Structure 1
Amino acid sequence: MGSILQSDVTGPSQSDANDIPIVDLSPFTSPSLSADTSHEARLKAAQKLVRACRDVGFVYVKNHGVPEDELAKAFALSKRFFDLPMEDKMKAPHPPGWVVHRGYSWPGLEKVSGAMSKQDDEDAVRKLREVQDYKESYEVGSETNPDQPNVWPPAEVLPEWRPFMSSFYWTCFEAAKHILRALALGIGLADEDHLLNFHDGHHNQLRLLHYPAIPAAAVEVGKVARMPAHTDWSSVTMLFQDDCGGLQVERRHAAAGGKAEEDQGEFVDVDPMPGTCVVNVGDLLMRWSNDYLTSTAHRVQLPPLQDRFTGDERLTRARYSIPYFLTTDPDTVIACLRFDDDHPAKYDPITQRDYAAMRARMQY
């Protein structure tokens, strides 16, 4: 895997190895900047972030605002949960169906896909699930979201789980506010809080993910998948990775005229980088921005192999990650932000609730 050779982004420049830009968000997250330099520094950082979201759709963000000690505890507690016996994890099971997305999802329950449905399509779902996703996850949301009630294990199973994850959910939202403000400033909206005003924080999703060790051959021959190529539904995703590796993003190249276009099937590694989170644009924000910002396909493949073997069978390393999906309030109408006579609106207005339903039917 390639290494990152630069610490900032100036205009369209990117890391040499994998084309994933790096943006320092400290002008938004650091209280030390003086009033005289604050706006200029914020504008510069915001424009770099937006350029990355236009050209690539993925960006490393440093000084993101989530304290490192709290993040380390989240990973440690996540590992403790997934190390529990299955009967204990199943005391907080994901509810049946696709409407409520909370609690524990066991390997094989979820099938990640970029497919969208306007009605239940049993044949499409059956074909989609011919290859199982081998991962497990736990979803957490706001305790006051009536549409998505949390599902918690009994306190005696893991006493720290509920209080910490409930708090960490809001820690991530505080960091996400800075990203929303930077995006609004960078795309030229008059009100820096314009995007944030559509997000009250109660409809986001914190996800704890575990990819268990698995025979590498099972993935290589297509018997199972880690996480297939897909785009996220959300406005914005913040992703924290462990040091395992395996995340890849579809490469985009500048075509004639400077427009970024996907080179289908060519994926590059998004190497774990200490002190950063990976931020990517979701489909909803791409639609909302009238395709001004870019949602890019990504996947999880085989991580580096462990230094241990079971007979002649190679085993992958286990992988842990923590994505935080930021989304709008469900019944607020989302209409294209940027359009004019030369660039008419490509999408009809839609609520997040209706948009999410089109996606979730195909996944659960």
Structure 2
Amino acid sequence: MAKVAKIPIIDISADSEQDQRQVAKELVEAAVEHGFIYIKNTGKDIPVEAVEAAFELSKKLFNAPLAEKQACAYQSNNRGWSAMHYETLDPKNQRVGDFKEAFNFGEFINGKAQQPIPASIAEHESQISAFRDLCYNMCLKLNTLLGIGLDVNPPDFFTQAHKTERGASGTILRLLYYPPLPQTSATAHDVRAGAHSDYGSLTLLFRLRGQAGLEIRTPDASWAPVPVSPPGTEADPAPPILVNIGDLLSYWTNGLLRSTVHRVVFPGPGGGLVDGETDTEPRYSMAFFCHPVGTTPLAVVPSERVRKFRAANEAAAAQDGERKVMTADEHLQMRLRASYKQMYSDKE
């Protein structure tokens, strides 16, 4: 068995104020040390049935006729279908684009998508909207807990920055499909999704049992697989939700919260396969990329712990005078231009 990543498993379902403070502390420590956190899916915040139904819709979407998907092709607003090899998450090290298909859903209004969607799933539009809402509310809860755990003043600082009533954001629900190695032209050196950190504040990742591929970069610069069902969760109704800190929360906290680099690979029998997982079948996952309102300035968060961390970190302190306070949208556009060079070069 491959040496797996050591990621804490946290149950955030507690209701009492005292219990929530303890959970908030655990979340922050996991975000500082690992940047990734397993959240037990008790079904309280996101019902197991909703996750299962969303995966069924994902399979239906990627099995839709090619013409349907092409009619919803990816646009510069970060919505729509991207074909195999269209996105390149690690352009410096990849010979070709990622071995995956993806479909990005932006905002819904009154259950209606504000973008074209394939006819094969059109009747399920409100279901997709409802699942997106569940993910959004989960992220608000996590942002609140992180604010409490960091003693931010006010503690709902992060949460308020993500409230949809304050304006539009880059938040995206992304469905993903990765074909197995025999169905691709990949070589032993290719990856399904290149090494990258996530662009937003928080990411919720949903995976199916038995489907291998995700790895994170460890502090010693090696790669460690991230099991879908870590030890102790095998009998849970659903695999835990994997949460990772994105670039914006790291930037907001001056690097205190870790935005960890990760990738999706073809593990192979001699590589990073975890017991009970395989890379011989198609891999499906769903990622909810949570972003603050686009006009939000990414100034250092008002937290004493963040201030002390910055003061103790000589490299960060030396850059204080050069630090550019960009907005959430400016940061997102910077990252998208690097991943979709062909699209943006065509427009310039």
Question: By the TM > 0.5 criterion, same fold?
Answer: yes
Q: 1:242 to 1:278 in 2, by over 3 A?
A: same
Task: State the AA in 2 paired with 1:263.
Answer: D
Correspondence for 2:307: 339
Aligned equivalents of 1:303 and 1:321: distance in 2?
A: 16
Identify the match of residue 267 of structure 1 among 207, 211, 223: 223
Inter-partner Cα distance in structure 1 for 2:268 and 2:114: 37
Give the TM-score normalised by structure 2: 0.80
AA matched with 1:349: V
Alignment match, 2:125: 162
TM-score by length of 1: 0.77
2:177 is matched with which residue? 210
> What letter is aligned with 1:140?
F
1:18 aligns to 2:2 (yes or no): no
Partner of residue 179, structure 1: 142
Offset at residue 143 of structure 1 (A): 2.9
Higher relative strand content: 1
Which of 288, 296, 299 lines up with 1:324 in the alignment? 288
Aligned partner of residue 64 in structure 2, secondary structure: coil
Partner of 1:104: 81
Structure 1 position 50, deviation (Å):
0.6
Count of matched residue pairs: 303
1:141 is matched with 106
Name stretches of at least 5 consecutive residues in structure 1 with no aligned partner. Answer: 3-15, 28-32, 114-124, 252-261, 306-313
Give CA deviations for 1:212-232 in whole Å, capped at 9, x if unaligned. Answer: 12328954433x420111100
Q: Could you tell me which of 308, 333, 338 is aligned with 1:362?
A: 338
Query: How far, CA to CA, are the matches of 1:213 and 1:275 in structure 2?
Result: 21
Partner of 1:160, secondary structure, is helix
- Residues 86, 315 of structure 1: alpha-carbon distance in 2 compared, 3 angstrom cutoff: farther
Write the deviation string for residues 37-75 of structure 1: whole angstroms up to 9, x where unpaired.
x11100111111110110011110114721110110000
**2 CA distance for matches of 1:66 and 1:45?**
18
Aligned ranges for residues 1-364 of structure 1 at < 5 Å?
1=1, 17-27=4-14, 33=15, 38-63=16-41, 65-95=45-75, 99-113=76-90, 130-143=95-108, 149-154=114-119, 157-201=120-164, 202-203=168-169, 204-215=171-182, 218-222=185-189, 224-243=190-209, 244-251=211-218, 262-264=219-221, 266-273=222-229, 274-302=238-266, 316-337=280-301, 338-339=306-307, 342-343=311-312, 344=317, 346=320, 347-364=323-340
- Quote the Cα distance in structure 1 between the aligned partners of 2:131 and 2:142: 17
8 Å CA contact 1:102–1:151 kept in 2: the answer is no
Give, in angstroms, the shift of residue 149 of structure 1: 4.7
Q: Counting helix residues as a fraction of each chain, which structure ranks higher?
A: 2
The C-alpha deviation readout for 1:77-116, integer Å capped at 9, x for no partner, is: 1011111221222221112xxx311111111111113xxx
